[in-house]
Amino acid sequence: MATNQECANVFSQIADLLEITGANGFKVNAYRKAARSCENESRDLGQLARESPTELRKVEGIGESTAAKIVELETIGKVAELEALRSKVPPGLPVLLTLQGVGPKSVKLLWDSAKVTNIDDLRAAIASGALLTVERMGEKTIANLRDAVAAHDAAGAGPVRYRLGEAIPVAESMLKILRAAHGTVRVAFAGSARRGRETVGDLDLLVSSEDPAAAKAAFLNCAGIGKVLAQGDTKCAVQLATGIQVDLRIVKDNAFGAALMYFTGSVDHNIFLRERAIARGMRLNEYGLFRVPKENSEGADLSLVAAETEESIYRALELPYCPPELREMHCSDLTKPSPTLIELADIKAELHSHTTASDGDMSIIELASLAKARGFHTVAVTDHSRASAQANGLSVERLLKHIDAIREAEAKLGGIRILAGSEVDIMADGRLDYEDDVLAKLDVVVASPHTALKQAPQAATDRLLRAIRHPLVHILGHPTGRIIQGREGLAPDMELLCRTAKECGTAMEINCHWSRLDLRDQHVRIAVASGCMIAIDCDIHSLGDADNLRYGIATARRGGLTAAGCVNTLSAANLHEWLFSKRSSLRS
C-alpha cells in the first residue's frame, strides 16, 4: 500500500526528472502541485485508489493522469512513467539532487554544459576548473558545490536511513493491514522508530496472532513490495519498492511483551537488561524472562517469569518502566523512575504557523479552525518577516494590516485565541528584521535564523544569544536551522544558549517537522537540564503539518521533557500571562 508520502515522492521525482530533461514548465509544475496535494491530503490515497479511483480525481491538484499513476503505484508498486524517465538520464545523475543546494536546474546545467553525469564527474569538474567555463556558473556557486560534495563524502556511502516522518506512516499503514488479518491479537512497531530516533535504518513490525499463516500472508500481500527477503513462519522481511526494508516477527500473544521489548532495543538497553537478568539468576530473550533452576540439573526446565507485557518484565527485573524513547545507552540510571514524559495530548496551543500572507497554504480562518478542531485554546499566526523575501515576508505596512486581519478573524471565528505574531528573521549579527516599535505591537515573537547558516560556532552563539536576550522575543525558532540529511546548520554553544534562555524567560523551540526536529534530542536534554522553557511547534504551512506534532513530541521525550517544561501545555491564562510579561518587564 502506497502512503501519501510515497505518492508525493513519485510525483516530485517525476517533476525533477522532467525538469532535468527539459520538459515544459507547465507539466513540471503540475507534478509539483500533485506532490504537494498528496502530502497535504488527509485521506489515504492508496486506499482511495483501491476502493474508488474516481474519487481520486476529485482531490485538489490531482488530475486524470496523476490519479492513474497513484492507482499504478498502489496496484503494481511502481509507476511506468517514472521508470521511463529514469531510463532517459544517466543513472548517477539523480543522485546529484541529494546534494545540498542542488536542484534540477543546476543538475540540467551541469549535465548539458559540463557533461557531468554523476558525483565523480562533478568532483573532477570542480577540481580541474572545467566548471569555470560554464556560463551562469560563478565562483561562489562552484564553492557551494565543492562544499556540498564534501558533505556528501563525509556522510559516506553508508546504509541509507529514512527520516522518521517518511518511515512511520509506512509502518502504520502496514500495521493497519496486519490488524485486519484473521487471528491478529496485538500489533506494534518496534525498533528505532518506536524509540523515536530521527532516522531509521529499517522498520521492525510485530504481530501476535492465533493464525500466524494469515498474518504472514497479509504481510507478504501488501502492495508496494519490491523484493521478499525472507519468508519464514515467524520471521519475514521485505524491501519495499521505495527502498525501505521492513522486518516482521509473528509471535504468540503471551510472549508479545518480551518480543516487543527485545525488538524495540536499543541493543545497549537489551544488553543491560540481559545482564541484570543473569545477575538475578534469570535469562532474558525475545521469548521471555525465565528463572534458571538452582541445581542446574540435567533436564530441568527454565520456568517462565514474565513475557506478556513489557511492564511485567521490568517489574520482575526490579526496574521501573522505561519509556521507549529513553531506551538508549546514554540514558544512564535505569534503576530510578523516569520522569513522566510529555505526551501529545498535553499540547494545548500552536505558537508558530504561517498563512497565505507569507508562504503558508491556509487563510487565518482555515489555520485557526484547524487548531480549534485539535482542541487548542490558542494559535499564533507568525508569518515571515520582510528579509525572508523568498517566503513572501511581510513589509511593516503589510504586517500592520495583517494584525488587523488577525483581530477580525479572531472575533469572527470565536472559541479560540488567535494571536498576532511574527517569525522574525535573526540577521547574521543577531539583529532582528523589524524595529522594536513594530515588534512591540505583536502578541508573540518567534525569532529564527534562516540565512548565514554556515556561520562559525562563536558567531552563531553570539548571534543567537542576542536574539534570546532581546526583551521582545518569546521563542527562538528552529535554533540551528539544520535540515536532516540536508544541511548541518549552526553549531552554537547550546548550554550557554539554554542557560541564557532560562535567565531571560525565552523558550527554545522544538520544530516538529521531521526534516528539521530542531532542537534535536541531545539539545532537548541540555535544555531540560538547564531548566529553560521549551516550545513544541509544528511551524504549520499546510494542513498536514499539524500531524508532525508526534515527531516533535518523540524528540521532546527523547530529551526527557515533561509537560511542565513546555509552554504549549500551559493553560490559556498562564500562556498569555507569560507572553504579556515579557512586554511589561520592558516597560518597568
By the criterion CB under 5 A, which residues form the site for Ca ion?
191-192, 202, 204, 247
- Residue 242: contacted member of ligand DGT, Ca ion, Zn ion, none (CB under 5 to 8 Å, by partner type): none
509 binds Zn ion (CB under 5 A): no
Q: What is the 3-state secondary structure (H, E, C) of 448-462?
A: ECCCCCCCCHHHHHH
Does position 539 interact with Zn ion (CB under 5 A)? The reply is: yes
Among candidate residues 482, 474, 467, the one with its CA nearest the CA of residue 523: 482
| Shortest separation between residue 540's beta carbon and Zn ion, angstroms | 8
Quick one: what does residue 511 bind among Ca ion, Zn ion, ligand DGT, none, with the CB cut-off 5 to 8 Å set by partner type?
none
Report whether 58 contacts 37 (CB < 8 A).
no
- Write down the residue that cell numbers 526528472 correspond to: 17
Q: Of these, 41, 202, 539, 545, which contacts ligand DGT (CB under 6 A)?
A: 202
Are the beta carbons of 345 and 374 closer than 8 angstroms? Answer: no
Q: How far is CA 80 from CA 56, 239, 243, in A?
A: 19, 19, 17
- Helix, strand, coil % in the chain, rounded to nearest 5: 50, 15, 35
List the one residue from 219, 263, 314, 551 that touches ligand DGT (CB under 6 A): 263
Residue 327 Cβ vs ligand DGT, minimum distance, rounded to whole Å: 8
- What is the size of the binding site for ligand DGT (CB under 6 A)? 13
Residue choice 265, 421, 477, 479 for contact with ligand DGT (CB under 6 A): 265
Name the residue whose CB lies closest to ligand DGT. 265
Tell whether residue 192 is a contact of ligand DGT (CB under 6 A): yes
CB of 107 to Ca ion, least distance (A): 32
Answer for which of 143, 271, 300, 373 binds ligand DGT (CB under 6 A) is 271
Rule CB under 6 A: is residue 200 a binding residue for ligand DGT?
A: yes
Query: What is the C-alpha separation between 59 and 567, in angstroms, rounded?
Result: 36
Q: Which residue from 181, 182, 184, 233 is spatially nearest to 208, judged by alpha carbons? A: 184
- Binds ligand DGT (CB under 6 A): choice among 16, 74, 121, 204: 204
From 258-266, 419-427, 463-471, 488-496, give the range in contact with ligand DGT by CB under 6 A. 258-266
Which CB atom, from 201 or from 471, has the smaller least distance to Ca ion?
A: 201
Stretch that binds ligand DGT, among 22-30, 69-77, 169-177, 194-202 (CB under 6 A): 194-202
- Select from Zn ion, Ca ion, ligand DGT, none the partner in contact with residue 263, using the beta carbon and a kind-dependent cut-off of 5 to 8 Å: ligand DGT
Least CB distance from residue 557 to ligand DGT, whole Å?
A: 16
Chosen from Zn ion, ligand DGT, Ca ion, none, partner binding at 539 (C-beta under 5 to 8 Å by type): Zn ion
- From Zn ion, Ca ion, ligand DGT, none, which one binds at residue 353 (CB under 5 to 8 Å depending on kind)? none
**Least distance between ligand DGT and beta carbon 173 (Å):** 18
CA distances from 100 to 237, 243, 511 (A): 32, 21, 20
Nearer to ligand DGT, 187 or 464 (CB): 187
The nearer residue to Zn ion, 204 or 539, going by C-beta atoms, is 539
Closest separation in Å from C-beta 511 to Zn ion: 8
Alpha-carbon gap, residue 295 to 459, rounded angstroms: 66
**Which window, 36-44, 189-197, 326-334, 534-542, contacts Zn ion (CB under 5 A)?**
534-542
SS3 67: helix
Q: Per rule CB under 5 A, is residue 247 in the interface with Zn ion?
A: no
Cβ 216 vs Cβ 201: under 8 Å: no
423 is an interface residue for Zn ion by CB under 5 A? yes
- List, in sequence order, every residue forming a beta bridge with 282; answer none if it has no partner: 291
**DSSP secondary structure of 318-369:** T-----GGG-STT---TTSPPP-B--GGG--EE--B--TTTT-SS-HHHHHH
* Interatomic CA distance for residues 229 and 218, integer angstroms: 16
Query: Considering the rule CB under 6 A, would residue 267 count as an interface residue with ligand DGT?
Result: yes
The backbone region for 118, taken as left when phi is positive above 0, alpha when psi lies in -120 to 50, beta otherwise, is beta
Please, which residue, 224 or 265, has the CB nearer to ligand DGT? 265
Q: Is 26 helix (H, G, I), strand (E, B) or coil?
A: helix
Interstrand relation of 282-285 and 245-251 (parallel, antiparallel or unpaired): unpaired
Cβ contacts of 559 within 8 Å, gap of 6 or more: 519, 521, 522, 523, 524, 525, 527, 528
Residue ranges in contact with Zn ion by CB under 5 A: 423, 539
Interface with ligand DGT (CB under 6 A)? 191-192, 200-202, 204, 262-263, 265-267, 270-271
